[in-house]
Chains A and B, each alone.
Chain A
Amino acid sequence: MKRGQSFYRALLPGVALAVMGALLLAAARDPRSLAAPAAPAAARTPAQESAHATVAGDDKAATVAALDALLVSRWGQAGIEPAAPADDLDVLRRAWLGLAGTIPSVEEIRGFEADPGAERLDRWMAMLLADRRAADHLARRLARPLVGEDGGQFIVFRRDRFIDWLAGRLESNEPFDRTVTAMVANSGLWTDSPEVNFITQAMADGVLDEDRLAGRVSRALLGQRIDCAECHDHPFAPYTRGQYEGLAACFGQVRVTGLGVEDDPARVLSIDLPPPGGDDAGGAMQPRTRKVPPRVPFGTEWLPTSGTHRQNLAAWIVDPRNRRFHRAVVNRCWAVVFGRGWHEPVDDLPDPPEEPEGFDPGDPVDLLAADFRDHGCDLRRLFSILTRSRLFHLSSRHPLRDDAAGNKALDAAWAAFPITPCGPDVMITALVQATSLRTIDRGSHLVTRTIRFFREVDFIRDYGPTDDANGRREPATIPQTLVRMNGRLARELVEANPFTAAGRIARLAGDDEARLELAFLAMLTRRPTPEERSALRSLLTTAPSRAEGMQDLCWALMNSLEFGWNH
């Protein structure tokens, strides 16, 4: 493993030369187009056209209006005025961070600003949702609760394949219930049928841990921490150890061999019994076991009996009557877009309201869950509704943020856009994007993506692990701050050469004002305020060279709090 990595690292200089060549060609082809505002876009790509058509002819408006009304009523109850509307560029940035895990490139900002339409934000967000960058990022975010962050067992668990598979399903907007069914119920080899990595994630030391799968199902797909009942009956909810074991037993037929994941109808889950006298009795190394039949913790009436245990479980999870499934998915997606779930912890939702057809008028998750269910578990539609909501378009600034109590009340009422830190994976992607004026995506040159991959590995090693499975993120630590200030990547990214934003801005922009503006757009997706212009201009004017001044400016922008937070 190590030897492999150092081999690739040894290749880096060559790869870097190649990418420099490629960028040089690109720069030669189009030297100034990004340094100046673009003319209104004359021609659109087919993808842009189809995104446009989707927005114009959709039927989401009613759900968006209902969601907005629900929030207005909540603000009224709290007696809090909502924040002012955010600038379009702020909304663009948070859409890119939330949905694609990166920031818009200057190229994209120029295109956006050249689009005169009144609904340009909707259009551009629809375009982004159809972009592979969004599929990749959302797949990583949604995969965390499904397969966790641990490395898992070598060979039989391939997280990368699972995430790629999930991204493919998101890109083609496959109904999410079918995606869930595939990963819970399918058989096959972890390489050819990547969805079965959902099962093999639970392999430890050659043995399948059915409990872990029961935990994943309960938290990621039902929004219930039934797995607390692995050790004790749930303190607040009516879950028992027996129910939890029954859920685990739904995976009791699974056999994992060199040929892949399969079901053996003859297998039944056996559970070790504690030694007589309890866990502390000691000396009990000969476990006694009992057999556990499959069982679901609620809604037994919609559990089929005709298939394998896993097929039955999958059908039960995605059954239209299982509101916990839809609510869990919606709350998770809410957290992806707004930084935290409407319900927290994001994987432990209150029970759905009693009435079978209606929804809780105080709970947007319930409203959106009904929409999600009624529209074929369409994730893209869900993200589209969330990002078209009024909340998504509110400023994160608010007078109440001036003191801690007001700030807390504001967040509780969802009366301003929440401020949340970016995780390390988003941070590195945004950093690399910020230092290139052009969009970096799957269409980028392979060498650019290769370099990004290895830089990402190094950066995440130094910066620390990603946020936990529930998406909780903490403010930057001292070592993380040191990486951003003094790390090797930081040095490379702000270097002013013909291939970085710093270098190209220094060379191409007409004067210092234009340079300031371009650097702000590239890093913070906004223009500098008058105060910032007057305070930061001196970085450019007093530096011995234009390149040095640009490096200092880019370094400061990259190390600003604003860069690392979604706001």
Chain B
Amino acid sequence: MRHLTMHPRRTWCRIAPLGLSFALPALTSRSGGLRGSERPTALVAIWLAGGPSQLETFDPHPGTSIGGPTQAIDTRLPGARIAADYPRLAECLDRFTLVRSLVSREGDHERGAHTIRTGYRPDPLLRHPALGAVVAHELPAEGLELPRFVSLGDDPFPSRGGYLGATLDPYRVTVPGLAGQNLVPHVGGDRQLRRLEAVDQLSRSFAFGRGAAVLGTLDDHTRRAALTLMESDQLSAFAIADEPESVRTAYGDTPFGRGCLVARRLVETGVRSVEVTLPGFDTHAANFSGHTSQAALLDPALAALVHDLETRDLLDSTAVIVVGEFGRTPSINPLDGRDHWPHGFSCLLTGAGLARGRLVGATDPRGEARQPSDPIDVADLAATVLAAVGVEWAREVATPIGRPMKLAPGRPVPRLLADRG
């Protein structure tokens, strides 16, 4: 960041390569004067990549043939006991709705991740946008200089803007907490200006005899937006050094913990769509120790995030979804692992228009019935999440070849939505 402070804001953006006007609106994204659910809504998606075991997280069955060594503890959500590795989450589980009956038809990581993130099963003809991209596309973010959709953590199957376009691909920060990625110029001051002027000269040369084609590339516009971003005061949202140590400790001094803290800061700054990915749940071997290690990362970060959003009056406007691409088998394999199981797995929901304090669905404690009670299809979960942040989930948009496509394939599930009014 040190280079950035040497220059007045937007120095570099004053260069106007092809004479486009480029005025930024005044900052209004923080909506400081609004309260609670009146604030602009946002979505924070916590992707538990690899397929977390429901039995070792939010749906344990201790003492049964399928339960393994995992113990359960009571929580503040009446009737819900979760794995003993989640003591902090147990203390605040009443802030969430716990769904134990998610059903998907995809048991492969890549296809499952696509399905849970978009609501749609993979389509060879069309790449559907991730929920985060839909939210960023549908909800205005006036005055926001940061990218509309940010992904934090090293995601094995990055979300995409799909048919909404590459501009809706998330801005990815693989090591969150320090700064944004690729934002610091190699050189500063006049030298950077000289470099940019040279690029400008080259653009003019190239545009000769190719004017409209060059305008269509949006190259100039995009570079200036990048330069604006590089100098934006809002970038401080990516760095957590100014957070009190107690806050940083509460989230956990881990990449995932820092990611969740940055997610909160981004939402405060006006980013409407943030993802944080915690990889490492694919426990075909050593399932139990593996999940205990993962819980040490997930439990503090998630509890701190929800607490923080609540105390900052952001929870009523920020939907949080915590889910993996599928669950894991009730049976335990010879390697002490569990395999892929899309037939009844868990997720946590809270914030914005999502219900809190409910327990939905149940899996068979003996692992015999494949189908959970009160099944919730992942397609309906997608529509529910969009509805909860105020996106018109049934709206049809045209794909690049003009094929009409609903933003979400399913329908919102009323019992997962908060009773308003």
Contact = CB atoms under 8 A, between A and B. Distances in A.
B194 to A, nearest CB: 6
Contacts of B186: 486, 490-491, 494, 555
A204 interface: yes
Contacts of B167: 474, 477-478
A406 B215 CA distance: 13
Given A419-B210, A552-B195, A560-B199, A150 B122 contact: yes
A201 to B, nearest CB: 11
Contacts of A403: 211-212
Contacts of A119: none
22 contacts: A150-B122, A204-B107, A205-B106, A225-B125, A227-B125, A228-B125, A401-B209, A401-B212, A406-B212, A407-B211, A419-B210, A419-B214, A474-B167, A476-B217, A479-B182, A485-B223, A485-B226, A536-B201, A539-B198, A555-B186, A556-B196, A565-B217
Given A151-B110, A462-B172, A531-B205, A482 B125 contact: no
Interface string A163-176: 00000000000000
A486 B185 contact: yes
A407 B195 contact: no
A70 to B, nearest CB: 24
Top 6 nearest A-B pairs by Cβ distance? A397-B209, A556-B198, A205-B107, A407-B212, A560-B202, A482-B182
A407 B216 contact: yes
Contacts of B211: 401-403, 407
A148 B109 CA distance: 16
B206 interface: yes
Interface in B164-194: 165-167, 169, 171-172, 174, 181-187, 191, 194
Contact of A562 (B157, B158, B202): B202
Contacts of A77: none
A204 B108 contact: yes
Given A479-B182, A491-B186, A421 B229 contact: no
B147 interface: yes
Contacts of A225: 125
B107 A485 contact: no
A370 to B, nearest CB: 28
Contacts of B174: 461
Contacts of A560: 199, 202-203, 206
A471 to B, nearest CB: 13
A561 B212 contact: no
A396 interface: yes
B198 A553 contact: yes
Choose among B107, B122, B213, B216 the residue with the greatest number of A CB atoms under 10 Å from its CB: B213
A63 to B, nearest CB: 29
A479 B213 CA distance: 22
Interface of B: 106-111, 122, 124-125, 127, 147, 154, 157-158, 160, 165-167, 169, 171-172, 174, 181-187, 191, 194-196, 198-199, 201-203, 205-206, 208-219, 222-223, 225-226, 229-230, 340, 370-371, 400-401
B49 to A, nearest CB: 12
A59 interface: no
Contacts of B219: 475-476, 561
B107 A479 contact: no
A404 interface: yes
Contacts of B214: 419, 561
Contact of B229 (A151, A402, A478, A490): A478
Given A151-B110, A559-B199, A398 B209 contact: yes
Contacts of B400: 472
A468 B128 CA distance: 12
Given A462-B181, A465-B160, 16 more contacts: A205-B340, A397-B209, A399-B209, A407-B212, A474-B167, A476-B222, A477-B167, A481-B223, A487-B182, A491-B186, A494-B186, A529-B205, A532-B201, A548-B191, A555-B195, A560-B202
A399 B212 CA distance: 10
Interface in A461-515: 461-462, 464-465, 468-469, 472, 474-479, 481-483, 485-487, 490-491, 494
A152 B110 contact: yes
A218 B229 CA distance: 44
Nearest to A562: B206
A213 B211 CA distance: 43
Contacts of B122: 150
A494 B187 CA distance: 12
B171 A478 contact: yes
Contact of B166 (A396, A477, A538, A562): A477
B199 A401 contact: no
Interface in A514-536: 529, 531-532, 535-536
Contact of B183 (A2, A465, A482, A561): A482
Contacts of B222: 475-478, 481
Contacts of A141: none
A406 B216 CA distance: 13
B125 A561 contact: no
Contacts of B340: 205
A28 interface: no
Given A228-B125, A478-B147, A478-B171, A285 B370 contact: yes
Nearest to A458: B174
Given A462-B172, A486-B182, A532-B201, A556 B195 contact: yes
A329 B99 CA distance: 49
Contacts of B370: 285
Contacts of A227: 124-125
A379 interface: no
Contacts of A476: 217, 219, 222
Contacts of B201: 531-532, 535-536
B379 to A, nearest CB: 11
Contacts of B107: 204-205
B198 A552 contact: yes
Nearest to A523: B202
Contacts of B106: 204-205
Choose among A212, A469, A485 the residue with the greatest number of B CB atoms under 10 Å from its CB: A485
A528 to B, nearest CB: 8
Contacts of A478: 147, 167, 171, 222, 225-226, 229
Choose among B147, B206, B225, B371 the residue with the greatest number of A CB atoms under 10 Å from its CB: B206
Contacts of A536: 198, 201
A384 interface: no
Nearest to A145: B124
A491 B107 CA distance: 42
Interface string A141-169: 00000001011110000000000000000
A148 B226 CA distance: 31
Contacts of B218: 475
A567 interface: yes
A482 B210 contact: no
B401 A552 contact: no
Choose among B127, B165, B214 the residue with the greatest number of A CB atoms under 10 Å from its CB: B214
Interface string A120-159: 0000000000000000000000000000101111000000
A482 B226 contact: yes
